[in-house]
Amino acid sequence: MAKGLGQRVVVLKIRLKLFISPNVWGKVLELIRLI
């Protein structure tokens, strides 16, 4: 149960970060293009 909760919290934090700063997607796409 603890592991499942921990994973859910991490996923929620990541989603919140991406939602708050959508610019991250632009940076990721730029990195992918460079590669």
For residues 3 and 30, give the distance between their C-alpha atoms in angstroms, rounded to a whole number: 34
Which pLDDT belongs to residue 30? Answer: 85
List of the chain residues with pLDDT < 70? 1, 20, 22, 35
Which pLDDT belongs to residue 20? Answer: 66
For residue 25, give the nearest of 35, 13, 14 by alpha carbon: 14
